[in-house]
Amino acid sequence: MIHSLFLINSSGDIFLEKHWKSVVSRSVCDYFFEAQERATEAENVPPVIPTPHHYLLSVYRHKIFFVAVIQTEVPPLFVIEFLHRVVDTFQDYFGVCSEVVIKDNVVVVYEVLEEMLDNGFPLATESNILKELIKPPTILRTVVNTITGSTNVGDQLPTGQLSVVPWRRTGVKYTNNEAYFDVIEEIDAIIDKSGSTITAEIQGVIDACVKLTGMPDLTLSFMNPRLLDDVSFHPCVRFKRWESERILSFIPPDGNFRLLSYHVSAQNLVAIPVYVKHNINFRDSSSLGRFEITVGPKQTMGKTVEGVMVTSQMPKGVLNMSLTPSQGIHTFDPVTKLLSWDVGKINPQKLPSLKGTMSLQAGTSKPDENPTINLQFKIQQLAISGLKVNRLDMYGEKYKPFKGIKYMTKAGKFQVRT
Amino acid sequence: MSASPAYGEEKGGSGLGEPEYGHDPASGGIFSSDYKRHDDLKEMLDSNKDSLKLEAMKRIVAMIARGKNASDLFPAVVKNVACKNIEVKKLVYVYLVRYAEEQQDLALLSISTFQRGLKDPNQLIRASALRVLSSIRVPIIVPIMMLAIKEAASDMSPYVRKTAAHAIPKLYSLDSDQKDQLIEVIEKLLSDKTTLVAGSVVMAFEEVCPERIDLIHKNYRKLCNLLIDVEEWGQVVIINMLTRYARTQFLSPNQNESLLEENPEKAFYGSEEEDAKEDKPDAASLVKRKPYVMDPDHRLLLRNTKPLLQSRNAAVVMAVAQLYFHLAPKAEVGVIAKALVRLLRSHSEVQYVVLQNVATMSIKRRGMFEPYLKSFYIRSTDPTQIKILKLEVLTNLANETNISTILREFQTYIRSMDKDFVAATIQAIGRCATNIGKVRDTCLNGLVQLLSNRDELVVAESVVVIKKLLQMQPSQHSEIIKHMAKLTDNIQVPMARASILWLIGEYCEHVPKMAPDVLRKMAKSFTGEEDIVKLQVINLAAKLYLTNSKQSKLLTQYVLNLAKYDQNYDIRDRARFIRQLIVPTEKSGVLNKYAKKLFLAQKPAPILESSFKDRDHFQLGSLSHLLNTKAVGYQELPDWPDEAPDPSVRNVEVPEWTKCTSREKRKEKVEKPFYSDSEGESGPTESADSEPESVSESESESGSGSSSSSGSGSDSGSQGAESGDRSEERRKKKKGKEGPRKAFLDTAGSNPSEEEEEEQGKKGKRKKKPQHEGKGDSGSSWEEGSVSESSSSESDSGSEAEESQSEPESKRRPTPPSSKAAPKATRKGTKEISLLDLDDYRETEARGREGTCPRSPSRPVAELGILGLPEATARVTTAPPQPASSPSVVSTSLVTDLEGLSLTDTSLASTLLSPTFSAVRTHELLHRMAGEGLSVEYCFSRQPFVPDPHMVAVHIQFSNSAEAEVKGLRVCAPRLLPGIRLQEFPEIESLAPGDTASVVMGIDFSDSTQAANFQLCTHSRQFYVSIQPPVGELLAPVFMSENEFKKEQGKLTGMSEITEKLTLPDQCQSDQAIVQRVMVAANVSRVPCGADHVYRFAAKTVTSGSLVLITLERKDGARAQLTVNSEKMVIGTMLVQDVVQALAP
């Protein structure tokens, strides 16, 4: 399975290597660098690179390439999914996953990696288990450890490892018992020139932060579970119960986790909460172009659209832009040709707009493509699909937990073609 | 972190200290500084302060992490392998694994530490010792490794067994000669029933002996059933392996359709209607009429993998998707599309892999992804490689109905800034045009418009595509050819120029006037052209010479002369060749005549094909599929066999274990909620360190416990002898069961001796065989083993009584009550007997032990004598505690029975069983090994706990197999969750070696299935133990009449009612079997009931006394509906699961 792992930063330095079988020389990464050079952008580096004796599978996250070296046939998704899990674990342990943090915590990183794979085969990937084996570094613990000489390494097999609920550690205790659920929906949409929707789908997740004592058994029911016809669950969810009753019944892991993700597909009608009016014109004759966009709300169920951000990749021919926004701040980078406009909140009485001219490179003909506009926004207290949680109940424990639920709609990959 | 200063320090010195990084290792200066630098580390390692050692190790690990060489520290580090500090130890392990291969001799110093570690009582230490030992890759220790693996494979901790499974491929890669021995270990581990081990051992199987598919047979069903509870990585490996397995063992579910199946090309042209026809009604009708019947095992696999499509792990979803693609009947494959489309939202690397696979699938099964067409639309922010793959899928999905939308979408793409993507789009348009005749002209026109695009790349790509399209029907498009001829002035891209020249040459008769002119221009610029263009110029010249020699003779000569002196030998060669061929000389003879035929032959139009065509001969989702070449170690996906191999190989010989596990599961059930709920039996999973080996132990127990202890007795008492051969046959079966059982009894924790089992198994098999043949291929032995309730009763006596003693009993055993007309009188009689039987039996058992008798009142022994039941006496000999039902319980049920008698007679056939299902299943509380000779088992005796009615009585049996006396056995320091109370048993002052003692303690679980944790203390030691009740044990039976029941049930509706549909297996068709199974699952009493096919049970929770009502209604066929009414929803829910589980096949 996974032979070795190399971590490579954006400037091409291998700053960490870990081998689970015999050592593979780091020169194997040369093939990777070659491919990296060929692909102009980091995202375009192929995830699978065959070399004469090895295969390199990589993921790119947080400006770091995680390159796994394998030698024999293995499902590529297996490795890729695992690498992502490694990144998630680092993030979970250190808050952020960056080169600096990894270098600072190299020993913990190494210990964690050691536990995650044995002979290249995943051993413990549940963060609850890992955290029992190797405790995440905190300032307090570091101080205590230096004084008392105790260690970050657990000497007992984590209870989860053998139990039927491997995701939950035992003996959890909190003084404040709380369970928060965030229903977050992202709209992926492509809007065409005339403003009609080409495709729109909703990607929703329910993220949970559960801090409950003991072994609580939770059930979460929805007002309209019919919406959820394409879902994937955290392993803790009892599938049968969902099948038969459409109720999420589970013993939650301790801490933060993603309970559920769902997909409301393009076939259903998706309400689009904003519209963009645009008028982008490159005139053939003059070296000036006109640029005008207005953003407005639409089907927001009375909620405010906030955190609106417009970005657009302008064609190469655009030299500069002189624009005036009615609100917010805009920037244009003449090198990358990236226009971004931080709009903020949309006031339905006074729609935000951005108007002005573009100066084009003289002599060249007008670009044949108008730029696409990418939109970001947020709507609090609204799940655009209409999903509503009915109630949350807890069984198996005596105390009364504090329960909270939050809805939010965001733009996912929201594009307007012009 | 404290490592960070070390890190900085390292960095400073790294340039100096690295001989391998370009410094001359011989130069002493560097060496000395190197040594100096490491000297402080060595000093720290030699110190006796753990903190210094730790600091040093952290710095060393940081060096390793950055790829710096730290091998010179080996001797200093290896000394610390036995360090007490666990973190230092771990880091030393990390170091060892990294460098042991290089310093083999020194590494041997550490071996003894690991060997000691392998015997440690802490399973984590045993496991990590094995892990490191197997990871250090020193060939000399192969025999030691082999021994360690073998030992660990039968370790009582599943975690250690898992580690053993991991060690197998390590040893194999170190020394492949060990293969045979390793296969033995794999075989053994494959039969392991814990989910923890399953994934790892299949991984080992795949690495060591993927060709030994025969090892899977016996474990196939178990793997299918366990699958859902295996951790996600194991699932991927198992699913991939099972795909291969299924391909060798089952018949193609599409074999009939394959005759009708259109070839893929046709499917491509096919209209939607055709497609729909093919996919739905056709498939449905085929199912009806075709003789093909899917092997139930094949169905099992498909059914058990389906829920995994909902996994959060993309690799699992992909694995299931490929399994369905390769194995499922055509009509069912569609389910995977939705899940795969969902994955498209994931990270771009995941998208990349998924799209590759979707591309392959969409060629074969276009209809599947068509509804999701829009999900493949491309965004300007997608990485180029994703865009191109999406384009591929869109093209594959194009058909006559959706082509217009797709083309409109393509038009947007053509204006993209990403030129590689534009080029790919143009090719895609070309493919759509070739495949869908209707839009060919539209596409062609669109492409021609692109010829006036400003971007040369776009134009060039269009030319290439147009060339291919024109080849299909050139005569209609001379206009386009003319247009293209004009383009030669502007287009500079060689490929495009070459394409135009080729077109003009090929169709020069359509453009007779322009062609010579083009040649003229080309001749002028000939020297400046690219090679590929030059070749086409020569080609054009030759063709023109042949068709229009008057105008082009001189030009041709000129071009050929230029080519003759070209730098490229290919072109010189070509020129020479063509000259000989076309220009008639006296030397060139025969060929000249055929020149025209040679050059102007009809050329077949190229077929524009997806590069993903036929990729599906690689297993989807595999690396080989992604790369489209065979990767190292790739296992071919075999073709379906023509004839299905014998399905009986998958039958498991000992019919018990499937049953056992399902019983075993019940214990876990309480907190094991998961996917596998109602389906099948997945293996037991252990929950605590303190009872690791309870699997095997309690399984054997539960195997026997599943049956009624008195059921057999009562039966035998009442009914006449049955036909001789039948009882004989049973006896043989019993023998088969005796084997493993015995083995479990004499050595806890160790596995049954194989020979014995085998021998016994053979006996059983010999006898079973004829049955099989009678049943046909659908039947399987384990099903048969539990077909009727009679088999369960015999398993009980079989395991408990001596062979000889049980013989007469079995002879007198009645035929199962399929004959409904069993007289009432007999039933009554049997009831009494059963009652007595139990009591006596408990009595004798109690007498058998010394002093520590359970506190329930004893019965006169005389009764035994009066009735003179031989089984009862036989049972006296049994060693393990057989908790009895208390008199009160018995009497309740007796009343129930009597009540029932007065109401109706149909329902009563099985009520006599009610008191008898006391939980005879014992659980391991403390294993002999862990307890240093003291072993403790417990069971739920289902008696009321006299001192406190709110407590559940737990019957605990101690046995001392140590050399020394155990003194002062007591409970101390219970760590109980709020609400749970515990009534300790009186201290046992001493327990002599070889002695056993049993006590009863009460636990109030406060109606939850939380475990009660406490310590068992002896004079010298303390053991942490925990008792966890199955939900069924939290109940106490209550008696009520049918009317009362209905009244109470009316009050408990709505939220308090939980309903579940289930299908009763064949073995559960009889009333008695159903009642029995329910009562084994939960401590309830039967409510008499007038209606047929309705079973009611009532109980209340022990702590709060809330009513729990169970109704089981049989519908037509095997379907049934289970309703549980209870205020306590958790209990209700879990009880539903347990009952469903109990009624599962």
Each of the 418 residues of chain A gets a pLDDT tens digit; together they read 888 999 998 888 899 999 988 888 888 999 999 988 888 788 888 999 999 889 999 999 988 999 999 988 899 999 999 999 999 999 888 888 888 988 888 888 988 898 888 888 888 888 878 887 787 776 666 666 666 655 666 666 666 566 667 788 777 888 888 999 999 999 988 888 888 888 888 889 999 999 998 888 999 999 888 888 888 888 888 888 888 888 999 989 888 889 989 888 766 677 888 889 988 887 766 677 888 899 988 877 778 888 999 999 888 878 888 889 898 899 998 888 889 999 988 888 888 999 988 888 776 666 667 788 999 999 998 888 888 899 888 888 888 889 999 999 999 889 998 7
Task: List phi, psi (to 5°) of A259.
Answer: -75, -40
Q: Do A258 and B977 touch (CB under 8 A)?
A: no
Question: CA of B158: which chain A residue's CA is closest?
Answer: A162
Look up the domain containing A117 and give its range.
Answer: 2-148
Residue B1121 sits at the chain A interface (C-beta within 8 Å): no
Q: What is the pLDDT of residue B28?
A: 39
Q: Do B409 and A198 touch (CB under 8 A)?
A: yes
Q: Which residues are paired to B972 by β-bridges?
A: B1015
Question: CA of B373: which chain A residue's CA is closest?
Answer: A266
Q: Which residues are paired to A197 by β-bridges?
A: A191
Distance CA B1031, CA B670 (A): 6
Q: Which of B87, B372, B677 sits opposite A152 (nearest CB)?
A: B87
Distance CA B179, CA B301 (A): 29
A–B CB contacts, 8 A cutoff, strictly below: 316
Shortest alpha-carbon distance between residue B282 and chain A (Å): 25
Q: Which of A78, A84, A398 sits opposite B979 (nearest CB)?
A: A398
Q: Which of B124, B315, B381 sits opposite A75 (nearest CB)?
A: B315
Which range among A199-213, B18-32, B114-128, B885-899 has the greatest average pLDDT? A199-213
Residues A140 and A61 reside in one and the same domain: yes
> Closest Cα partner for B1080 from B909, B875, B916, B839?
B916
Q: Do A164 and B671 touch (CB under 8 A)?
A: yes
Cβ atoms within 10 Å, residue B585:
9
What is the phi-psi region of residue B994: left when phi exceeds 0, alpha when psi lies from -120 to 50, beta otherwise?
left
Q: Are strands A338-344 and B934-944 parallel, antiparallel or unpaired?
A: unpaired
Are the C-beta atoms of residues B837 and B918 closer than 8 Å to each other? no
Residues A78 and A185 reside in one and the same domain: no
Distance CA B745, CA A260 (A): 46
Which one is predicted more confidently, B809 or B1130?
A: B1130
With beta carbons under 8 A apart, name residues in chain B contacting A60. 349
> Does the residue A232 lie in any domain?
yes
Average pLDDT, whole number, for chain B?
A: 71
Cβ atoms within 10 Å, residue B179:
15
Q: What is the pLDDT of residue A67?
A: 93
Residues A242 and A203 reside in one and the same domain: yes
Q: Do A151 and B621 touch (CB under 8 A)?
A: no
Q: What is the mean pLDDT of residues B168-197?
A: 88
Q: Please report the residues numbered 1010 through 1069 in chain B whose beta carbons come closer than 8 angstroms to any beta carbon of chain A.
A: 1010, 1060-1061
Q: What is the pLDDT of residue A162?
A: 64
Helices B531-547, B494-506: crossing angle, 10 deg rounding: 10
Alpha carbon B1068 to its chain centroid, in Å, reads 28
User: What is the amino acid identity at position A198?
Assistant: I
Q: Tell me what percent of the residues of chain B surpass a pLDDT of 90.
A: 5
Are the C-beta atoms of residues B717 and B830 closer than 8 Å to each other? yes
Q: Is the pLDDT of residue B21 over 90?
A: no
Residues A185 and A138 reside in one and the same domain: no
- Report how far apart, in Å, the C-alpha atoms of A361 and of each of A371, B318, B456 are: 16, 49, 19
Distance CA B680, CA B659 (A): 10
Q: Do B170 and A119 touch (CB under 8 A)?
A: yes
> Does the residue A327 lie in any domain?
yes
Q: Which of A50, A55, A110 sits opposite B61 (nearest CB)?
A: A110
Enter the tokens of residue B1094.
């309705």
Q: Do A162 and B626 touch (CB under 8 A)?
A: no
Question: CA of A239: which chain B residue's CA is closest?
Answer: B675
DSSP code, position A324? E
Q: What angle do CA B544, B550, B552 make, to 5 degrees?
A: 40
Q: Which of B236, B377, B631 sits opposite A78 (nearest CB)?
A: B236
B1044 Cβ contact list (under 8 Å, min separation 6)? none
Q: Give the length of chain B.
A: 1145
Q: Is the pLDDT of residue B1033 over 80?
A: yes
Question: CA of A79: which chain B residue's CA is closest?
Answer: B315
Q: What is the mean pLDDT of residues B790-801?
A: 41
Q: Is the pLDDT of residue B285 over 70?
A: no
> Does the residue A264 lie in any domain?
yes
End residue of a domain, out of A126, A148, A170: A148
Q: Is the pLDDT of residue B800 over 60?
A: no
Which range among A166-180, B578-592, B705-719 has the greatest average pLDDT? A166-180
Alpha carbon B848 to its chain centroid, in Å, reads 47
Please state which of the ranges A310-314, B253-257, B412-416, B464-468 shows the lowest mean pLDDT.
B253-257
What is this model's ipTM?
Answer: 0.90
Q: Do A16 and B66 touch (CB under 8 A)?
A: yes
Question: CA of B670: which chain A residue's CA is closest?
Answer: A164
Question: CA of B636: which chain A residue's CA is closest?
Answer: A73
Q: Is the pLDDT of residue B143 over 60?
A: yes
End residue of a domain, out of A148, A168, A192: A148
Q: Are strands A231-233 and A255-264 parallel, antiparallel or unpaired?
A: antiparallel
pLDDT tens digit sequence for B842-860: 444 444 444 444 444 444 4
Which range among B529-543, B611-625, B1104-1118 has the greatest average pLDDT? B529-543
With beta carbons under 8 A apart, name residues in chain B contacting A119. 134-135, 166-167, 169-170
Q: Which of B314, B352, B1006 sits opposite A81 (nearest CB)?
A: B314
Residues A335 and A356 reside in one and the same domain: yes
Shortest alpha-carbon distance between residue B836 and chain A (Å): 39
Reported pTM: 0.65
Count of the separate structural domains present in chain A: 3
Are the C-beta atoms of residues B340 and B310 closer than 8 Å to each other? no
What is the phi-psi region of residue A118: left when phi exceeds 0, alpha when psi lies from -120 to 50, beta otherwise?
beta
With beta carbons under 8 A apart, name residues in chain A contacting B86. 151, 153-155
With beta carbons under 8 A apart, name residues in chain B contacting A111. 90-91, 94
Q: Is the pLDDT of residue B474 over 80?
A: no
Residues A246 and A318 reside in one and the same domain: no
Q: Do A249 and B135 touch (CB under 8 A)?
A: no
Side-chain half-sphere CA neighbours of B772 within 13 A: 17
> Does the residue A156 lie in any domain?
no
> Does the residue A171 lie in any domain?
no
Q: What is the pLDDT of residue B690?
A: 39
Q: What is the pLDDT of residue A208?
A: 92
Q: What is the pLDDT of residue B770?
A: 43
- Report how far apart, in Å, the C-alpha atoms of A58 and of each of A37, B1027, B1072 are: 15, 47, 60
Q: Is the pLDDT of residue B375 over 70?
A: yes
Side-chain half-sphere CA neighbours of B657 within 13 A: 24
Shortest alpha-carbon distance between residue B690 and chain A (Å): 11
Q: What is the pLDDT of residue A377?
A: 92
Q: Which residues are paired to A358 by β-bridges?
A: A289, A321
Distance CA B894, CA B880 (A): 27
Enter the tokens of residue B22.
């370009």
> Position of tokens 């399929």?
B818
> Closest Cα partner for A320 from A278, A291, A354, A353?
A291
Shortest alpha-carbon distance between residue B62 and chain A (Å): 6
> Does the residue A233 lie in any domain?
yes
With beta carbons under 8 A apart, name residues in chain A contacting B371. 267
Alpha carbon A245 to its chain centroid, in Å, reads 30
CATH number of the domain where residue A316 is located = 2.60.40.1170
Distance CA B414, CA B451 (A): 12
Question: CA of B1136: which chain A residue's CA is closest?
Answer: A241
pLDDT tens digit sequence for B447-471: 887 877 777 777 778 888 888 887 7
Q: What angle do CA B34, B36, B37 make, to 5 degrees?
A: 65
Enter the tokens of residue B1089.
């009931």
Q: Do A313 and B380 touch (CB under 8 A)?
A: yes
Q: What is the mean pLDDT of residues B940-955?
A: 79
Distance CA B358, CA A199 (A): 19
Q: What is the pLDDT of residue A139?
A: 65
Q: What is the mean pLDDT of residues B627-635?
A: 85
Residue B124 sits at the chain A interface (C-beta within 8 Å): yes
Residues A253 and A396 reside in one and the same domain: yes
pLDDT tens digit sequence for B190-240: 888 888 888 899 999 988 888 888 888 888 888 898 888 888 899 999 999
Q: Which of A164, A205, A370 is the best substitution to test chain B (most B C-beta atoms within 10 A)?
A: A164
Alpha carbon B384 to its chain centroid, in Å, reads 34
> Does the residue A170 lie in any domain?
no
Cβ atoms within 10 Å, residue B521:
14
CATH number of the domain where residue A81 is located = 3.30.450.60
Q: Do A214 and B381 touch (CB under 8 A)?
A: no
Q: Do A19 and B54 touch (CB under 8 A)?
A: no
> Does the residue A21 lie in any domain?
yes
Shortest alpha-carbon distance between residue A350 and chain B (Å): 30
Residues A253 and A311 reside in one and the same domain: no
Q: What is the pLDDT of residue B283?
A: 44
Q: Which of B91, B124, B417 sits opposite A157 (nearest CB)?
A: B124
Enter the tokens of residue A91.
């993030």
Distance CA B112, CA B90 (A): 16
Going B367 to B372 to B373 to B379, the CA torsion angle's sign is: negative
Residues A42 and A137 reside in one and the same domain: yes
Q: Do B2 and A142 touch (CB under 8 A)?
A: yes
- Report how far apart, in Å, the C-alpha atoms of B926 and of each of B93, B796, B1001, B1003 are: 31, 25, 16, 18
Q: Do A155 and B318 touch (CB under 8 A)?
A: no
Q: What is the pLDDT of residue B852?
A: 41
Residues A134 and A196 reside in one and the same domain: no
Q: Is the pLDDT of residue B479 over 90?
A: no
**HEC profile for B48-69?**
CCHHHHHHHHHHHHHHHHCCCC
Q: What is the pLDDT of residue A145?
A: 63
Residues A17 and A142 reside in one and the same domain: yes
Distance CA B791, CA B793 (A): 5
With beta carbons under 8 A apart, name residues in chain B contacting A369. 415-417
Enter the tokens of residue B408.
């409109």
pLDDT tens digit sequence for A266-321: 666 778 888 899 888 877 666 778 888 999 888 777 788 889 999 998 888 788 88
Residues A86 and A235 reside in one and the same domain: no
Secondary structure class of B817 (helix, strand, coil): coil
Distance CA B1117, CA B246 (A): 30
> Closest Cα partner for A204 from A417, A388, A344, A392?
A388
Q: Which of B122, B168, B377, B380 is the best substitution to test chain A (most A C-beta atoms within 10 A)?
A: B380
Enter the tokens of residue B828.
């009554």
Q: What is the mean pLDDT of residues B314-342?
A: 90
